[in-house]
Copies of this chain bind each other. A is one copy, B any other.
Amino acid sequence: MPVATFILPASLALQLLSAAAPAAKSAPKAVPAKPTVTAKRAAPVYAQATAEKLIGPALTDGHAYARLAELTDGIGPRLSGSPGAEAAVQWALRSFKADGVKAWLEPVKVPHWVRGEASGEVLASERTRGHPLALLALGGSPPTAPEGLTAEVVEVTSLEQLESLGAAVKGKFVFFNHTMTVAADYGRFAGLRSRGPAAAAKHGAVGALVRSLATASLRTPHTGATNFPSEGPRIPAASVATEDADLLHRLLAGGPVRVKLMLGSSELPDADSSNVVAEIRGREKPQEIVLIGAHLDSWDVGTGAHDDGAGVVMVMEAARLIAKLPQAPRRTVRVVLFMNEENGLRGGRAYAEAHAAELPRHVGALEMDAGGGRPVSVSVRAGEGGQDLLRPWLPPLTALGVTQFSAREAGGADISPLMPARVPFFGVEVDSSRYFDVHHTEADTLDKVDPQDLARSTAAVAWMTYALAEMPGTLTRPEAPAPRGPAPVTVPAQQSKTSGN
Protein backbone atom coordinates (compact mmCIF):
# COMPACT_ATOMS: atom_id res chain seq x y z
CA MET A 1 0.00 0.00 0.00
CA PRO A 2 1.70 3.22 -1.12
CA VAL A 3 1.71 6.07 1.37
CA ALA A 4 1.96 9.76 0.52
CA THR A 5 5.47 11.07 1.05
CA PHE A 6 6.25 14.42 2.63
CA ILE A 7 9.68 15.86 2.53
CA LEU A 8 10.32 19.17 4.22
CA PRO A 9 12.79 21.58 2.75
CA ALA A 10 15.84 21.52 4.93
CA SER A 11 15.54 25.20 5.79
CA LEU A 12 12.03 24.86 7.16
CA ALA A 13 12.87 21.67 8.98
CA LEU A 14 15.78 23.34 10.66
CA GLN A 15 13.53 26.18 11.68
CA LEU A 16 11.01 23.76 13.18
CA LEU A 17 13.63 21.73 14.91
CA SER A 18 15.36 24.67 16.48
CA ALA A 19 12.22 25.41 18.51
CA ALA A 20 12.11 24.00 21.99
CA ALA A 21 8.56 22.74 21.60
CA PRO A 22 7.86 19.57 19.63
CA ALA A 23 7.74 20.09 15.89
CA ALA A 24 4.12 19.05 15.65
CA LYS A 25 3.04 21.87 17.94
CA SER A 26 5.25 24.62 16.57
CA ALA A 27 4.45 24.01 12.90
CA PRO A 28 0.86 24.95 12.26
CA LYS A 29 1.40 25.02 8.52
CA ALA A 30 3.81 22.74 6.76
CA VAL A 31 4.90 23.39 3.22
CA PRO A 32 4.70 20.25 1.15
CA ALA A 33 7.73 19.36 -0.89
CA LYS A 34 5.68 18.65 -3.96
CA PRO A 35 3.24 21.41 -4.91
CA THR A 36 0.56 18.93 -5.94
CA VAL A 37 0.20 17.56 -2.43
CA THR A 38 -1.46 19.61 0.28
CA ALA A 39 -0.37 19.00 3.83
CA LYS A 40 -3.28 18.52 6.21
CA ARG A 41 -1.17 18.45 9.35
CA ALA A 42 2.40 18.96 10.50
CA ALA A 43 4.50 17.29 7.88
CA PRO A 44 7.02 14.72 9.00
CA VAL A 45 10.63 15.69 8.59
CA TYR A 46 11.45 12.43 6.88
CA ALA A 47 10.36 10.45 3.84
CA GLN A 48 7.82 7.86 4.83
CA ALA A 49 9.09 5.63 2.03
CA THR A 50 12.51 5.55 3.67
CA ALA A 51 11.03 4.53 6.97
CA GLU A 52 9.31 1.68 5.21
CA LYS A 53 12.49 0.60 3.44
CA LEU A 54 14.35 0.35 6.75
CA ILE A 55 11.70 -0.83 9.17
CA GLY A 56 9.82 -3.15 6.83
CA PRO A 57 12.70 -5.53 6.05
CA ALA A 58 14.04 -5.40 9.60
CA LEU A 59 10.70 -6.61 10.89
CA THR A 60 10.07 -9.23 8.27
CA ASP A 61 13.21 -10.67 6.67
CA GLY A 62 14.58 -12.51 9.70
CA HIS A 63 18.08 -11.46 8.71
CA ALA A 64 19.20 -10.20 12.11
CA TYR A 65 18.27 -13.46 13.82
CA ALA A 66 19.86 -15.57 11.07
CA ARG A 67 23.04 -13.56 11.44
CA LEU A 68 22.92 -13.97 15.21
CA ALA A 69 22.69 -17.73 14.65
CA GLU A 70 25.80 -17.57 12.44
CA LEU A 71 27.67 -15.75 15.18
CA THR A 72 26.51 -17.86 18.13
CA ASP A 73 26.05 -21.32 16.61
CA GLY A 74 28.72 -20.98 13.94
CA ILE A 75 31.39 -19.28 16.02
CA GLY A 76 30.25 -19.42 19.63
CA PRO A 77 32.09 -17.75 22.53
CA ARG A 78 34.66 -15.12 21.65
CA LEU A 79 36.65 -13.95 24.62
CA SER A 80 39.42 -11.51 23.76
CA GLY A 81 42.53 -13.32 22.58
CA SER A 82 40.71 -16.57 21.85
CA PRO A 83 40.37 -18.27 18.46
CA GLY A 84 36.63 -17.59 18.70
CA ALA A 85 37.23 -13.85 18.91
CA GLU A 86 39.43 -13.93 15.82
CA ALA A 87 36.90 -16.07 13.96
CA ALA A 88 34.26 -13.48 14.81
CA VAL A 89 36.46 -10.69 13.46
CA GLN A 90 36.85 -12.49 10.14
CA TRP A 91 33.14 -13.35 10.04
CA ALA A 92 32.16 -9.73 10.60
CA LEU A 93 34.56 -8.49 7.93
CA ARG A 94 33.20 -11.04 5.44
CA SER A 95 29.61 -10.23 6.34
CA PHE A 96 30.00 -6.48 5.86
CA LYS A 97 31.59 -7.09 2.47
CA ALA A 98 28.77 -9.47 1.51
CA ASP A 99 26.35 -6.68 2.43
CA GLY A 100 28.12 -4.23 0.15
CA VAL A 101 29.40 -2.21 3.09
CA LYS A 102 33.03 -1.12 3.05
CA ALA A 103 34.82 -2.58 6.06
CA TRP A 104 38.30 -2.85 7.52
CA LEU A 105 40.13 -3.93 10.66
CA GLU A 106 41.83 -1.62 13.13
CA PRO A 107 44.43 -3.14 15.46
CA VAL A 108 43.82 -3.59 19.18
CA LYS A 109 46.12 -5.27 21.69
CA VAL A 110 43.95 -7.24 24.08
CA PRO A 111 44.40 -9.05 27.38
CA HIS A 112 44.55 -12.79 26.98
CA TRP A 113 43.05 -14.38 30.05
CA VAL A 114 42.24 -18.10 29.89
CA ARG A 115 39.77 -19.65 32.32
CA GLY A 116 41.05 -23.20 32.69
CA GLU A 117 39.41 -25.59 35.12
CA ALA A 118 37.57 -24.40 38.21
CA SER A 119 35.98 -26.12 41.16
CA GLY A 120 35.17 -25.48 44.77
CA GLU A 121 33.48 -27.00 47.72
CA VAL A 122 32.27 -26.31 51.20
CA LEU A 123 34.29 -28.64 53.36
CA ALA A 124 32.53 -31.06 55.67
CA SER A 125 32.34 -30.10 59.32
CA GLU A 126 30.74 -31.62 62.39
CA ARG A 127 27.56 -29.78 61.37
CA THR A 128 27.36 -30.62 57.68
CA ARG A 129 28.60 -32.91 55.01
CA GLY A 130 30.50 -31.24 52.19
CA HIS A 131 28.85 -29.42 49.30
CA PRO A 132 30.18 -28.73 45.81
CA LEU A 133 29.96 -25.06 44.82
CA ALA A 134 28.61 -23.93 41.46
CA LEU A 135 31.16 -21.27 40.55
CA LEU A 136 33.05 -19.55 37.76
CA ALA A 137 36.37 -17.77 38.01
CA LEU A 138 35.99 -14.04 37.59
CA GLY A 139 37.72 -12.69 34.52
CA GLY A 140 41.19 -11.52 35.47
CA SER A 141 41.43 -13.78 38.50
CA PRO A 142 44.82 -15.36 39.13
CA PRO A 143 44.87 -19.14 39.65
CA THR A 144 45.08 -20.91 42.96
CA ALA A 145 47.91 -23.32 43.61
CA PRO A 146 47.22 -26.56 41.73
CA GLU A 147 46.23 -28.29 44.96
CA GLY A 148 43.68 -25.56 45.67
CA LEU A 149 43.22 -22.91 48.32
CA THR A 150 41.49 -23.71 51.60
CA ALA A 151 40.38 -21.07 54.08
CA GLU A 152 37.59 -19.93 56.31
CA VAL A 153 34.87 -17.68 54.93
CA VAL A 154 33.91 -14.19 56.11
CA GLU A 155 30.69 -12.71 54.71
CA VAL A 156 30.26 -9.02 53.89
CA THR A 157 27.49 -7.24 52.06
CA SER A 158 29.28 -4.04 51.11
CA LEU A 159 32.69 -2.60 50.48
CA GLU A 160 32.18 -0.40 53.52
CA GLN A 161 31.64 -3.42 55.71
CA LEU A 162 34.83 -4.93 54.32
CA GLU A 163 36.70 -1.75 55.21
CA SER A 164 35.32 -1.85 58.74
CA LEU A 165 36.46 -5.44 59.16
CA GLY A 166 39.92 -4.61 57.87
CA ALA A 167 42.56 -7.03 59.12
CA ALA A 168 39.85 -9.43 60.37
CA VAL A 169 39.69 -10.85 56.85
CA LYS A 170 43.38 -11.71 56.78
CA GLY A 171 43.97 -15.26 55.63
CA LYS A 172 40.32 -15.77 54.74
CA PHE A 173 37.95 -15.88 51.81
CA VAL A 174 35.84 -12.75 51.68
CA PHE A 175 32.35 -13.72 50.55
CA PHE A 176 30.51 -10.78 49.00
CA ASN A 177 26.78 -11.33 49.42
CA HIS A 178 24.04 -8.95 48.26
CA THR A 179 20.33 -8.68 47.56
CA MET A 180 20.08 -8.28 43.78
CA THR A 181 16.62 -9.35 42.65
CA VAL A 182 15.83 -7.27 39.56
CA ALA A 183 17.85 -5.98 36.62
CA ALA A 184 17.85 -2.45 37.98
CA ASP A 185 19.92 -3.70 40.95
CA TYR A 186 22.93 -4.47 38.75
CA GLY A 187 24.54 -1.08 39.09
CA ARG A 188 24.15 -1.11 42.88
CA PHE A 189 26.05 -4.36 43.35
CA ALA A 190 28.41 -4.71 40.38
CA GLY A 191 31.15 -2.97 42.32
CA LEU A 192 31.29 -5.95 44.68
CA ARG A 193 32.46 -8.02 41.72
CA SER A 194 34.62 -5.49 39.93
CA ARG A 195 36.36 -4.01 42.98
CA GLY A 196 35.57 -6.29 45.92
CA PRO A 197 38.35 -8.84 45.37
CA ALA A 198 41.04 -6.15 45.08
CA ALA A 199 39.77 -4.50 48.25
CA ALA A 200 39.76 -7.85 50.06
CA ALA A 201 43.31 -8.57 48.88
CA LYS A 202 44.46 -5.22 50.24
CA HIS A 203 43.36 -6.36 53.70
CA GLY A 204 45.12 -9.70 53.44
CA ALA A 205 42.28 -11.94 52.30
CA VAL A 206 43.51 -14.99 50.38
CA GLY A 207 40.51 -15.35 48.07
CA ALA A 208 37.15 -13.86 47.17
CA LEU A 209 33.74 -15.37 46.46
CA VAL A 210 31.13 -13.08 44.95
CA ARG A 211 27.42 -13.80 44.81
CA SER A 212 26.39 -13.86 41.16
CA LEU A 213 24.78 -10.72 39.76
CA ALA A 214 21.68 -12.59 38.73
CA THR A 215 17.93 -12.22 38.41
CA ALA A 216 17.37 -15.95 37.97
CA SER A 217 19.37 -19.03 38.79
CA LEU A 218 19.37 -22.76 38.39
CA ARG A 219 22.76 -23.11 40.09
CA THR A 220 24.00 -20.70 37.45
CA PRO A 221 27.17 -18.75 38.26
CA HIS A 222 27.67 -15.43 36.43
CA THR A 223 31.20 -14.46 35.53
CA GLY A 224 32.45 -10.96 34.77
CA ALA A 225 35.58 -8.92 35.08
CA THR A 226 37.26 -8.14 38.34
CA ASN A 227 39.92 -5.47 38.44
CA PHE A 228 43.16 -5.48 40.39
CA PRO A 229 45.18 -2.26 40.37
CA SER A 230 48.53 -3.06 38.83
CA GLU A 231 50.41 -2.20 42.01
CA GLY A 232 48.21 -4.14 44.46
CA PRO A 233 47.99 -7.79 45.51
CA ARG A 234 45.90 -10.18 43.40
CA ILE A 235 43.88 -13.06 44.86
CA PRO A 236 41.84 -15.85 43.28
CA ALA A 237 38.26 -14.69 42.85
CA ALA A 238 35.15 -16.57 41.74
CA SER A 239 31.46 -15.92 41.44
CA VAL A 240 29.16 -18.43 43.08
CA ALA A 241 25.58 -19.20 42.09
CA THR A 242 22.94 -17.46 44.18
CA GLU A 243 21.92 -20.84 45.63
CA ASP A 244 25.46 -21.41 46.84
CA ALA A 245 25.61 -17.90 48.26
CA ASP A 246 22.41 -18.65 50.16
CA LEU A 247 23.94 -21.91 51.37
CA LEU A 248 27.10 -20.17 52.60
CA HIS A 249 24.96 -17.59 54.37
CA ARG A 250 22.86 -20.27 56.11
CA LEU A 251 25.88 -22.32 57.09
CA LEU A 252 27.72 -19.26 58.42
CA ALA A 253 24.78 -18.61 60.74
CA GLY A 254 25.69 -21.88 62.47
CA GLY A 255 29.43 -21.43 62.84
CA PRO A 256 32.69 -21.32 60.90
CA VAL A 257 32.65 -22.46 57.28
CA ARG A 258 35.70 -23.55 55.33
CA VAL A 259 35.86 -23.54 51.54
CA LYS A 260 38.33 -25.09 49.15
CA LEU A 261 38.74 -23.35 45.80
CA MET A 262 40.70 -24.48 42.76
CA LEU A 263 41.13 -22.13 39.82
CA GLY A 264 43.31 -22.99 36.85
CA SER A 265 43.17 -19.63 35.12
CA SER A 266 46.13 -18.05 33.40
CA GLU A 267 47.06 -14.65 32.03
CA LEU A 268 48.96 -14.93 28.73
CA PRO A 269 50.80 -12.08 27.02
CA ASP A 270 48.55 -9.51 25.35
CA ALA A 271 47.25 -10.72 22.00
CA ASP A 272 46.78 -8.99 18.66
CA SER A 273 43.18 -8.42 17.81
CA SER A 274 40.98 -5.91 15.98
CA ASN A 275 38.02 -3.64 16.02
CA VAL A 276 35.95 -4.22 12.90
CA VAL A 277 34.98 -0.91 11.31
CA ALA A 278 32.58 -0.42 8.42
CA GLU A 279 31.01 2.59 6.86
CA ILE A 280 28.52 4.04 4.43
CA ARG A 281 29.84 7.32 3.14
CA GLY A 282 27.45 10.27 3.51
CA ARG A 283 26.10 11.87 0.36
CA GLU A 284 26.35 15.51 1.47
CA LYS A 285 28.49 15.67 4.58
CA PRO A 286 30.71 12.62 4.48
CA GLN A 287 33.06 14.18 6.99
CA GLU A 288 30.32 14.11 9.65
CA ILE A 289 30.15 10.70 11.29
CA VAL A 290 27.31 8.91 13.03
CA LEU A 291 28.88 6.01 14.90
CA ILE A 292 26.89 2.92 15.82
CA GLY A 293 28.61 0.19 17.80
CA ALA A 294 28.39 -2.98 19.80
CA HIS A 295 31.04 -5.31 21.19
CA LEU A 296 32.13 -8.34 19.23
CA ASP A 297 33.88 -10.07 22.11
CA SER A 298 31.92 -12.05 24.67
CA TRP A 299 32.64 -14.07 27.75
CA ASP A 300 33.94 -17.58 27.20
CA VAL A 301 30.84 -19.19 28.71
CA GLY A 302 27.66 -19.43 26.67
CA THR A 303 27.74 -17.95 23.19
CA GLY A 304 27.16 -14.29 24.00
CA ALA A 305 23.79 -14.21 22.27
CA HIS A 306 22.33 -11.37 24.33
CA ASP A 307 25.73 -10.02 25.39
CA ASP A 308 26.47 -8.75 22.88
CA GLY A 309 25.66 -10.77 19.80
CA ALA A 310 22.27 -9.09 19.67
CA GLY A 311 23.84 -5.63 19.62
CA VAL A 312 26.33 -6.70 16.96
CA VAL A 313 23.66 -7.91 14.57
CA MET A 314 21.45 -4.88 15.23
CA VAL A 315 24.14 -2.44 14.12
CA MET A 316 25.29 -4.66 11.26
CA GLU A 317 21.71 -4.87 10.04
CA ALA A 318 21.23 -1.13 10.39
CA ALA A 319 24.19 -0.63 8.07
CA ARG A 320 23.05 -3.27 5.60
CA LEU A 321 19.59 -1.76 5.32
CA ILE A 322 20.86 1.82 5.07
CA ALA A 323 23.33 0.73 2.39
CA LYS A 324 20.43 -0.61 0.33
CA LEU A 325 18.55 2.71 0.30
CA PRO A 326 18.32 4.41 -3.11
CA GLN A 327 20.61 7.10 -1.78
CA ALA A 328 22.95 7.27 1.16
CA PRO A 329 21.98 9.53 4.04
CA ARG A 330 23.45 12.97 4.32
CA ARG A 331 26.21 11.95 6.74
CA THR A 332 28.55 9.00 7.05
CA VAL A 333 27.28 6.04 9.06
CA ARG A 334 30.15 4.19 10.67
CA VAL A 335 29.75 0.84 12.38
CA VAL A 336 32.32 -0.16 14.98
CA LEU A 337 32.36 -3.68 16.39
CA PHE A 338 34.55 -3.20 19.41
CA MET A 339 36.90 -5.86 20.70
CA ASN A 340 37.43 -6.45 24.42
CA GLU A 341 34.55 -4.64 26.07
CA GLU A 342 34.22 -7.40 28.64
CA ASN A 343 37.65 -7.48 30.19
CA GLY A 344 39.63 -4.41 29.27
CA LEU A 345 37.78 -1.94 27.04
CA ARG A 346 40.87 -1.90 24.85
CA GLY A 347 38.82 -1.64 21.66
CA GLY A 348 36.85 1.36 22.86
CA ARG A 349 40.02 3.11 23.96
CA ALA A 350 41.89 2.22 20.77
CA TYR A 351 39.11 3.63 18.62
CA ALA A 352 39.04 6.92 20.53
CA GLU A 353 42.84 7.23 20.23
CA ALA A 354 43.12 6.25 16.59
CA HIS A 355 40.29 8.58 15.57
CA ALA A 356 41.05 11.44 17.94
CA ALA A 357 41.33 13.92 15.09
CA GLU A 358 37.94 12.90 13.77
CA LEU A 359 36.05 13.01 17.03
CA PRO A 360 34.95 16.65 16.69
CA ARG A 361 33.19 15.48 13.52
CA HIS A 362 31.44 12.59 15.29
CA VAL A 363 27.93 14.02 15.50
CA GLY A 364 26.38 11.06 17.29
CA ALA A 365 27.38 7.71 18.76
CA LEU A 366 25.25 4.77 19.85
CA GLU A 367 26.19 1.50 21.49
CA MET A 368 23.77 -1.40 21.75
CA ASP A 369 24.79 -3.55 24.71
CA ALA A 370 21.81 -4.46 26.86
CA GLY A 371 20.59 -7.59 25.12
CA GLY A 372 18.18 -8.44 22.36
CA GLY A 373 14.94 -7.38 24.05
CA ARG A 374 12.18 -5.34 22.45
CA PRO A 375 12.76 -1.60 22.10
CA VAL A 376 11.12 0.54 24.75
CA SER A 377 12.44 4.08 24.33
CA VAL A 378 14.96 6.36 22.70
CA SER A 379 17.71 7.91 24.78
CA VAL A 380 20.00 10.82 24.17
CA ARG A 381 22.98 12.50 25.79
CA ALA A 382 23.58 15.88 24.24
CA GLY A 383 23.54 19.55 24.96
CA GLU A 384 20.30 21.47 25.09
CA GLY A 385 17.46 20.54 22.74
CA GLY A 386 18.49 16.96 22.05
CA GLN A 387 15.08 15.42 22.56
CA ASP A 388 13.44 18.18 20.56
CA LEU A 389 15.69 17.50 17.61
CA LEU A 390 14.93 13.78 17.68
CA ARG A 391 11.22 13.91 18.53
CA PRO A 392 9.91 14.50 14.99
CA TRP A 393 11.66 11.30 13.94
CA LEU A 394 9.92 9.06 16.45
CA PRO A 395 6.55 8.39 14.76
CA PRO A 396 7.81 5.44 12.65
CA LEU A 397 8.78 3.72 15.91
CA THR A 398 5.30 3.91 17.42
CA ALA A 399 4.24 0.56 16.05
CA LEU A 400 7.44 -0.97 17.45
CA GLY A 401 6.39 0.13 20.91
CA VAL A 402 8.65 3.15 21.17
CA THR A 403 6.79 6.37 21.86
CA GLN A 404 8.95 8.20 24.35
CA PHE A 405 12.37 9.14 25.55
CA SER A 406 14.15 7.26 28.28
CA ALA A 407 14.77 8.93 31.61
CA ARG A 408 18.32 7.54 31.31
CA GLU A 409 21.03 9.21 29.29
CA ALA A 410 22.35 7.33 26.29
CA GLY A 411 25.75 5.70 26.75
CA GLY A 412 27.84 2.58 26.48
CA ALA A 413 31.13 1.28 27.77
CA ASP A 414 32.92 1.29 24.41
CA ILE A 415 31.79 4.79 23.50
CA SER A 416 32.55 6.22 26.91
CA PRO A 417 36.10 7.13 25.76
CA LEU A 418 34.43 9.55 23.33
CA MET A 419 33.01 11.62 26.15
CA PRO A 420 36.00 13.94 26.66
CA ALA A 421 35.59 14.88 22.97
CA ARG A 422 31.98 15.78 23.73
CA VAL A 423 30.51 13.38 21.20
CA PRO A 424 26.70 13.36 21.55
CA PHE A 425 25.20 9.96 22.29
CA PHE A 426 21.90 8.51 21.24
CA GLY A 427 20.45 5.11 21.91
CA VAL A 428 17.60 2.67 21.61
CA GLU A 429 16.79 1.34 25.06
CA VAL A 430 15.58 -2.25 25.08
CA ASP A 431 13.67 -4.27 27.62
CA SER A 432 16.46 -5.66 29.80
CA SER A 433 14.27 -6.98 32.59
CA ARG A 434 15.34 -10.58 31.88
CA TYR A 435 18.87 -9.75 30.67
CA PHE A 436 20.51 -10.65 33.98
CA ASP A 437 18.92 -14.07 33.96
CA VAL A 438 21.61 -15.11 31.48
CA HIS A 439 24.20 -12.29 31.39
CA HIS A 440 27.77 -13.68 31.59
CA THR A 441 26.56 -17.28 31.98
CA GLU A 442 26.60 -20.57 30.09
CA ALA A 443 22.92 -19.87 29.42
CA ASP A 444 23.46 -16.81 27.21
CA THR A 445 22.54 -18.73 24.08
CA LEU A 446 20.54 -18.14 20.91
CA ASP A 447 17.34 -19.70 22.24
CA LYS A 448 17.08 -16.90 24.81
CA VAL A 449 16.68 -14.24 22.12
CA ASP A 450 13.16 -13.72 20.82
CA PRO A 451 13.34 -13.23 17.04
CA GLN A 452 10.52 -10.68 17.01
CA ASP A 453 11.99 -8.65 19.85
CA LEU A 454 15.34 -8.65 18.06
CA ALA A 455 13.71 -7.62 14.79
CA ARG A 456 11.92 -4.71 16.43
CA SER A 457 15.04 -3.41 18.12
CA THR A 458 16.98 -3.81 14.89
CA ALA A 459 14.35 -1.76 13.10
CA ALA A 460 14.51 0.95 15.74
CA VAL A 461 18.31 1.11 15.56
CA ALA A 462 18.26 1.28 11.77
CA TRP A 463 15.74 4.09 11.85
CA MET A 464 17.38 6.17 14.57
CA THR A 465 20.74 5.78 12.87
CA TYR A 466 19.24 7.02 9.64
CA ALA A 467 17.62 9.87 11.54
CA LEU A 468 20.93 11.08 12.96
CA ALA A 469 22.62 10.71 9.59
CA GLU A 470 19.89 12.39 7.60
CA MET A 471 18.43 15.13 9.79
CA PRO A 472 19.30 18.62 8.68
CA GLY A 473 20.64 19.62 12.09
CA THR A 474 22.89 17.89 14.54
CA LEU A 475 22.72 17.33 18.28
CA THR A 476 24.46 20.01 20.28
CA ARG A 477 27.49 18.65 22.02
CA PRO A 478 27.27 17.84 25.74
CA GLU A 479 29.68 19.09 28.34
CA ALA A 480 32.78 16.97 28.81
CA PRO A 481 32.54 14.91 31.99
CA ALA A 482 34.50 16.06 34.99
CA PRO A 483 37.86 14.30 35.09
CA ARG A 484 37.44 11.25 37.31
CA GLY A 485 39.61 10.76 40.36
CA PRO A 486 40.22 7.38 41.92
CA ALA A 487 36.84 5.69 42.33
CA PRO A 488 35.59 6.00 45.92
CA VAL A 489 34.94 2.58 47.44
CA THR A 490 31.55 3.69 48.66
CA VAL A 491 29.99 4.23 45.22
CA PRO A 492 30.07 0.96 43.32
CA ALA A 493 27.51 1.84 40.63
CA GLN A 494 29.52 4.21 38.49
CA GLN A 495 32.46 2.08 37.48
CA SER A 496 30.22 -0.81 36.57
CA LYS A 497 28.53 1.27 33.93
CA THR A 498 31.65 1.81 31.95
CA SER A 499 33.38 -1.55 32.17
CA GLY A 500 32.33 -5.09 31.84
CA ASN A 501 28.61 -4.67 31.13
Chain A contact residues, CB within 8 Å of chain B: 69, 73-76, 83-84, 87, 127-131, 134, 216-220, 242-243, 246-247, 250-251, 302-303, 437-438, 441-443, 445-447
Contact = CB atoms under 8 A, between A and B. Distances in A.
Contacts of A87: 129
Contact of A445 (B127, B247, B302, B446): B247
Contact of A75 (B73, B129, B243): B129
Given A134-B442, A243-B447, A445-B247, A76 B217 contact: no
A280 B266 CA distance: 61
A134 B445 CA distance: 12
A248 to B, nearest CB: 10
B218 A74 contact: no
A246 to B, nearest CB: 5
B127 A438 contact: no
A76 B244 CA distance: 13
Nearest to A124: B76
12 contacts: A69-B250, A73-B247, A73-B251, A75-B128, A84-B129, A87-B129, A216-B218, A219-B220, A219-B442, A243-B443, A246-B445, A247-B445
Contact of A218 (B83, B251, B442, B446): B442
Given A69-B250, A247-B445, A447-B246, A129 B218 contact: no
A258 to B, nearest CB: 15
Nearest to A74: B128
Nearest to A72: B247
A90 to B, nearest CB: 12
Contacts of A445: 219, 243, 246-247
Contacts of A243: 443, 445, 447
A246 B130 CA distance: 34
Contact of A443 (B74, B83, B129, B219): B219
Nearest to A302: B219
Nearest to A251: B73
Q: Which of A83, A129, A302, A437 has the most CB of B within 10 A?
A: A129
Contacts of A442: 134, 218-219
B218 A131 contact: no
Nearest to A445: B243
Nearest to A443: B218
**Nearest 8 pairs of A and B residues by beta carbon:** A218-B443, A219-B442, A218-B220, A218-B218, A219-B443, A243-B445, A246-B447, A74-B128
B84 A438 contact: no
Contact of A73 (B242, B250, B302, B443): B250
Contacts of A74: 127-129
A217 B443 contact: yes
Contacts of A130: 76
A73 B128 contact: yes
Contacts of A251: 73
Contacts of A443: 217-220, 243
B218 A76 contact: no
Contacts of A447: 242-243, 246
A153 to B, nearest CB: 15
Nearest to A134: B442
A107 to B, nearest CB: 23
